[in-house]
């Protein structure tokens, strides 16, 4: 038994008469505090899987056990509670609230949990101290991505789910962000899942999961994960 056990999970999308299987009999386990990298080509079901684990979306079959609880059987109220208290989510397309400033976007997350990190400090850690009062539309893509990461980290979540968190970032900023995510696992004991196309990130992971055609292609445990500083890509 792991901390997160995904067991025979299936997710289908129906559009018109057709049905598409986005996650097909997905099974794997993750231990508490692990840093996990999920790799796979576009359309293989990575975001779908993250959404199911984060309680953003339900699955059609199977079980998703998180810390002993089957969230696949949760009702809407239980899912809301789970997302609010336990999960930090960095969306592939940021999903910042457009009419709130960077600081307010982060505060929105930190205010809903009992123990949070200071929003200003977290924004500083992603290099945005001087952009706090700007609205998302006034920020570059990479800056918006960093606000989204600050927002997720500010909650001190038990589970941190990151969909392409460095996709819009340059090399140096990308490394900075990976450093923060690795620290969340190493120093704060959060279980961190990172979805990425960039296989060069894989050496920092405790576990690497590869997806192909909506299925798990392989799961590899990394006995000696690298520090982010040792990464090159």
Alpha helices by DSSP H, listed for the chain, are 46-53, 76-86, 102-110, 119-125, 141-154, 171-186
> Can you tell me which residue has the tokens 């606000």?
147
141 or 189: CB nearest ligand ATP: 141
Q: Which stretch binds Mg ion (CB under 5 A): 26-34, 73-81, 89-97, 147-155?
A: 89-97
Distance of CA 20 to the CA centre of its chain: 23
Binding mask 10-29 for Mg ion (x = CB under 5 A): --------------------
- Residue of 159, 72, 165, 74 whose CA lies nearest to 113: 159
105 near ligand ATP (CB under 6 A): no
Q: Which of 1, 15, 130, 230 binds ligand ATP (CB under 6 A)?
A: 15
48 near ligand ATP (CB under 6 A): yes
Q: How far is the CB of 186 from Mg ion (least distance, A)?
A: 26
Cα(207)–Cα(209) distance, integer angstroms: 7
Cα(61)–Cα(59) distance, integer angstroms: 6
Cα(79)–Cα(205) distance, integer angstroms: 28
Q: Which of 9, 30, 35, 44 binds ligand ATP (CB under 6 A)?
A: 44
Q: Which stretch binds ligand ATP (CB under 6 A): 41-49, 67-75, 178-186, 221-229?
A: 41-49
Give the full edge-to-edge strand order of the sheet including 191-196. Answer: 87-90, 159-163, 191-196, 35-40, 207-212, 215-221
Q: According to CB under 6 A, which residues from 71 to 100 bind ligand ATP? A: 92
- Binds 189: which of Mg ion, ligand ATP, none (CB < 5-8 Å by kind): none
Q: Which stretch binds ligand ATP (CB under 6 A): 42-50, 134-142, 153-161, 201-209?
A: 42-50
Cα(160)–Cα(205) distance, integer angstroms: 14
Structure tokens at 216: 């798990």
3-state secondary structure of 135: coil
Q: Which of 20, 85, 97, 217 binds ligand ATP (CB under 6 A)?
A: 20
Residues in the chain: 233
- Binds 224: which of Mg ion, ligand ATP, none (CB < 5-8 Å by kind): none
Q: Which of 47, 116, 144, 166 binds Mg ion (CB under 5 A)?
A: 47
- Binds 44: which of Mg ion, ligand ATP, none (CB < 5-8 Å by kind): ligand ATP
Q: Which residues bind Mg ion (CB under 5 A)?
A: 47, 92
Question: Interface residues with ligand ATP (CB under 6 A)?
Answer: 13, 15, 20, 22, 40, 42-48, 92
């Amino acid at each position: 038994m792991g901390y997160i056990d995904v067991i025979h999970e299936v997710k289908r999308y129906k559009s018109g008469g057709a049905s598409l299987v986005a996650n097909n009999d997905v099974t794997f386990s993750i231990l508490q505090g692990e840093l996990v990298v999920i790799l796979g080509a576009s359309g293989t079901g990575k975001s779908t899987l993250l959404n199911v684990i984060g309680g953003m979306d339900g699955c059609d079959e199977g079980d998703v056990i998180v810390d002993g609880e089957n969230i696949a059987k949760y009702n809407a109220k239980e899912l809301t509670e789970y997302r609010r208290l336990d999960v930090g989510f960095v969306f592939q397309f940021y999903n910042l609230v457009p009419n709130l400033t960077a600081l307010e976007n982060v505060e929105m997350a930190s205010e809903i949990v009992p123990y949070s990190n200071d929003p200003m400090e977290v924004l500083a850690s992603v290099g945005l101290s001087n952009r706090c009062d700007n609205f998302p539309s006034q920020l570059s893509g990479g800056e918006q991505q960093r606000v989204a990461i600050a927002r997720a980290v500010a909650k001190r979540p038990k589970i941190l789910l990151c969909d392409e968190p460095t996709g819009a970032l340059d090399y140096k900023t990308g490394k900075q962000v990976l450093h923060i995510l690795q620290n969340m696992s190493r120093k704060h004991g959060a279980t961190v899942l990172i979805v990425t196309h960039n296989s060069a990130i894989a050496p920092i992971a405790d576990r690497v999961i590869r997806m192909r055609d909506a299925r798990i292609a392989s799961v590899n445990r990394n006995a000696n994960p690298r520090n982010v500083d040792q990464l090159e890509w």
